[in-house]
Structure 1
Amino acid sequence: MFVPASQAALLAPQRAPGLSDPRALLRDLFDTAVAAVSAGHCLPQHLPAPPKGRTVVIGAGKAAAAMAQAVEAHWSGPLSGLVVTRYGHGAPCRRIEVVEAAHPVPDAAGQRAAQRMVELVQELTADDLVLCLISGGGSALLAAPAPGLTLADKQAVNKALLRSGASIAEMNCVRKHLSALKGGRLALQCAPARVHTLLISDIPGDDPTLIASGPTLPDVTTCADALAVIAKYGIEVPAAVRAHLESGAGETPKPGDARFEGHRSDTLASAQQALEAAAARARELGLAAHILSDCIEGEARDVALVHAGLARQIAQRGQPFDKPCVLLSGGETTVTVRGNGRGGRNAEFLLALAVALDGLPGVHAIACDTDGIDGSEDNAGALLGPDTLARAAALGQSARARLADNDGYGFFAALGDLIVTGPTRTNVNDFRAILIV
């Protein structure tokens, strides 16, 4: 059943599906995971005490609007500010303005929002507090090109990075060094006010300096590191970008910089929390649950091969776990785009998993992005069952051909197996569950 986008991240599952309905059970686990990392659930207990002076809220990311709503609902003093989120991910706020902009490639709306954010934190005092709400997606949404660079330069680099297969850490390393605000520079704009950053992590390993490219935290990477990423993936960048990096003009403030003294950051929600909630829900339903990892990275189709091998060993050998059980994992896979199809990394993972399992009886799976958007499509992810390949063949669909064309979306759309939630207004990245019965 479709859940309206405004409610998707707030509703815990109401029914209790069993092994007789694997699809409902897997969807139940996903909904539980998303609800556990919603801003309304995670943020209130992390709010600081109001300052002597003003409180200004700024922020960026797919969860920014929901985080702003939670702040407004639980803040006892005066409040003002602005956050930027992805188109369609907004939410009504009374005192904090919500602006929508483009993701994953930045646009002029994001650039204007970033400039206005900087204007809001000028002329603050040491008695004031800047509450910064950061979540995944903020790198593209907080679009502030470094001096000498243009929005078009950043758009070109972003597009190339997204197609390259680079990890999120590698992409954000480059982005930090092409920005006027990322890599700690936004915090410096707030001086002398104290900055308290609240984070929802979409980063494998939850390194706070990587979430949305760490706009309020010092950065350990360098321009040389950014150039190395560009060289590693053979990315063609505009001449101005290369000159900016080679000159060192894009260097970021480093750990130990006195300008960050007194600042604080807290991570509110992560993939691990989502997986633990799903595992607890599975056990409530009488099903053994095993968390493999919250920080799996790599090509989606390669990750699928490993998951398929483990599922096959359980199904056929009862090792390393007895069945029935569910395997849970998170992180952020990547897709090196070689075809012309549609589909995000979760659809790619499932399509590769289907090919590898080849209709293995008793194995069902779900893979979704917790933000409700798999890549740039309108689905969160999809469902897979032992009959997936047979049903596809009956429709004249070749899983291998679709995978070669990076067309996971088209494959699962033809089967009616896409999961569409709408924006969940949170983001802890990939959620995968494989049920073996």
Structure 2
Amino acid sequence: MPNTLHTEPRVLLRRMFDAAVAAAQPALCVPPALPQRPKGRLLVIGAGKASAEMALAVEQHWRGPLKGLVVTRYGYGAPCERIEIVEAAHPVPDAAGLDAAQRMLELVRGLSADDTVLCLISGGGSSLLPLPLPGITLEDKQQLNRALLTSGATISEMNCVRRHLSAIKGGRLAAACHPARVVTLLISDVPGDDPRDVASGPTVPDDSTCADALAILRRYGIAAPPAVLDALASGAGESVQPGDPRLARAEVHMIATPQMALEAAARVARDAGVTPYILGDSLEGEARDVGKVLAGMALHTAAHGQPFAAPCVLLSGGETTVTVRGKGRGGRNVEFLLSCAIALQGTPGIYGLAGDTDGVDGQEEIAGAVITPDTLERAWAAGMRPRDALDFNDAHSFFQRLGDSVVTGPTRTNVNDFRALLVLPPE
């Protein structure tokens, strides 16, 4: 069957990625979820890479008085007039985030049962609300965060540890709002869409324990600061448990998810005459291992028409992990892609794109990259060794030299990673 695709593969892949990002834009998903006007005050708080844009959507659609405070990543602000926007560091927290978290807790104290707190939460909030328990310093949190990010721990495991070292996460923010009604709007960036794991769940109960957090540190051989170990061993970091009466009036609404983003990308593929297959919205594992597995599926599809027939695109979301071994410029999406390209070995008709929907893969202001059947050939011609780049965790440098990076700038949303492998029939 000849290739009848009328859109250049790179262009089609980018259209799918852009559609996934657009589907999670706060301007689209926030207004339908706004609560009714309360008898008392409306107070808006929040944290995450999408929180400022969510706050702007609230301002533009709320008819009545409001005020508030949200914290977002540097460069992700929005021109709000009634809601204060604070920018802070991500993924390693800084003093600006610490100050914002302290002010947020002060802001919600003394509310009445007639008041409503609208909490806008999205991915990245864990680092943006770094208010540690008494006895733990910001430096302790920074040291631990760096260790977690390079350990290979899953996002769920990292957030379990964070919840038990925080004075604001793990339901504590909602508890501080009592007796007011708390309405949380969530844009999910975590596999499985568990509300506890989006920004480490500042407004939802948590049934995990300090013992669970300690076990995670031991599992990955993380040498935590003494104050951190003391807080966990003593039980001082236990979070707000399910059934706590202070959370009786707290409700959570998931307004954008990775699955919604993948479905938007699938619609673009269908319009181009390509059959989409969503493999899952919560794929996890080492990025290089996931790359090899999905490359194997694409190769079998190309060779045998199983389990799918070309032209098709294999879509997936979730959050892989990277166990850092080298000192290169890496990120989980580009590491996935480089591993995938090596496994594909230039097979004709297979193209791919992977990117973080927030526009930042790892710590680089680069969303991801694209691979083509000639990726390895062009790399060798440029004097690069793809396997060495993978071993050194240097995939961003690799794809930048090829001109294959995907750069979006701040997207002001975050529904986790997007991966697409496009399989076309031979020419």
TM-score by length of 2: 0.98
Question: Is the 1:365–1:435 Cα contact (8 Å) retained in structure 2?
Answer: yes
Please list, as runs of the form range in 1=range in 2, the aligned pairs for 1:338-417 lying within 5 A after superposition: 338-417=325-404
Which of 275, 282, 288 pairs up with 2:269? 282
The equivalent of 2:412 in structure 1 is 425
Matched, 1:103 2:90: yes
Q: Which residue of 1 aligns with 2:300?
A: 313
* 1:177-212: CA deviation from partner (whole Å, max 9, x where unpaired): 010000000111111111110000001010111110
Deviations 1:102-129 (A, max 9, x none): 0000000000000111111111111001
Per-residue CA shift, 1:275-308, capped at 9, x if unaligned? 0011011111211110000000010001011101
Question: How much has 1:19 moved relative to structure 2?
Answer: 4.5
TM-score by length of 1: 0.95
Question: Aligned residue for 2:248?
Answer: 261
Partners of 1:91 and 1:70 lie apart in 2 by 10
* TM alignment of 1:173-188, pairs within 5 A: 173-188=160-175
Amino acid at match of 2:114: D
From 56, 62, 78, the equivalent of 1:69 is 56
In structure 2, stretches of 5+ residues that fail to align are none
Q: Please give the per-residue CA displacement for 1:121-145, whole angstroms capped at 9, x wherever unaligned.
A: 1111110010000000000000101
Counterpart in 1 of 2:239? 252
Asked if the contact 1:19/1:25 (under 8 Å) is kept, the reply is no
Pick one of 64, 76, 80 that aligns with 1:89.
Answer: 76
Report the Cα offset of residue 417 of structure 1: 0.4
Q: Secondary structure at the match of 1:41?
A: helix
Between the aligned partners of 1:394 and 1:265, the Cα distance in structure 2 is 53
2:23 maps to which of 33, 36, 41:
36
- 1: CA distance between counterparts of 2:274 and 2:230? 56
Q: Is the 8 A contact 2:358 2:414 kept in 1?
A: yes
Q: Is the 8 A contact 1:46 1:268 kept in 2?
A: yes
Deviation at 1:54, TM superposition (A): 0.5
Moved over 4 A (4+): 17-20
State whether residues 183 and 216 of structure 1, in contact with CA within 8 Å, keep that contact through their aligned partners in structure 2. Answer: yes
Q: Which residue of 1 aligns with 2:259?
A: 272
Q: Which residue of 2 aligns with 1:300?
A: 287
Match of 1:199 among 173, 182, 186: 186
Give the C-alpha shift of residue 375 in structure 1: 1.1
Q: Contact (CA 8 Å) 2:341, 2:375: kept in 1 or not?
A: yes
Report deviation, 1:101: 0.2
Aligned length: 421
Q: Is the 8 A contact 1:173 1:225 kept in 2?
A: yes
Which deviates further from its counterpart, 426-435 or 254-263? 254-263
**Deviation per CA, 1:153-186, whole angstroms, max 9, x where unpaired?**
1011100000001000000000000100000001
Once residues 238 and 7 of structure 2 are traced to their aligned partners in structure 1, the CA distance between those partners, rounded to angstroms, is 57
Q: Which AA in structure 2 matches 1:45?
A: P
Distance 2:167 2:250 in 1: 20
Secondary structure (helix, strand or coil) at the match of 2:71 reads strand
For the residues of structure 2 that align with 1:211 and 1:220, how far apart are their CA atoms? 15
Within the candidate set 105, 110, 115, 2:102 is matched to: 115
Q: Is the 8 A contact 2:6 2:272 kept in 1?
A: no
1:170 is aligned with what amino acid?
A: E
SS in 2 for 1:334: coil
Q: 1:20 to 1:217 in 2, by over 3 A?
A: closer
Asked if 1:334 corresponds to 2:289, the answer is no
Question: Contact 1:370–1:430 (CA<8 Å) still a contact in 2?
Answer: yes
Distance in 2, Cα, partners of 1:203 & 1:106? 19
Distance 2:384 2:7 in 1: 27
- 2:360 and 2:88 map into 1 onto residues whose CA distance is 15
Amino acid at match of 1:363: I
- Tell me the SS of whatever aligns to 2:10: helix
User: 1:217-241: CA deviations, max 9, x gaps?
Assistant: 1001100000000000000010111
Contact preservation (8 Å) 1:380, 1:419: yes
Which residue number corresponds to residue 50 of structure 1?
37
What secondary structure, in the 3-state scheme, does the structure 2 residue paired with 1:209 have? helix
Work out the CA distance in 2 between the residues paired with 1:56 and 1:180. 20
Calculate the aligned-residue CA RMSD, in Å.
0.9
Of residues 223, 227, 237, the one that matches 1:236 is 223
Residue 70 of structure 2 contacts residue 86 of structure 2 at CA under 8 Å; is this kept in 1? yes
Q: Is 1:219 aligned to 2:206, yes or no? A: yes
Give the whole-Å Cα distance in 1 for the aligned partners of 2:18 and 2:149: 27
CA distance in 2, matches of 1:20, 1:61: 35
Question: What is the distance in 1 between the residues matched to 2:349 and 2:269?
Answer: 17
Deviation of 1:20 (Å): 4.6
Cα pair distance change 1:404/1:368, threshold 3 Å: same
Stretches of structure 1 lacking an aligned partner (at least 5 in a row): 1-16
Among all aligned residue pairs of Structure 1 and Structure 2, give the percentage whose two residues are the same amino acid. 64
Deviation at 1:259, TM superposition (A): 1.3
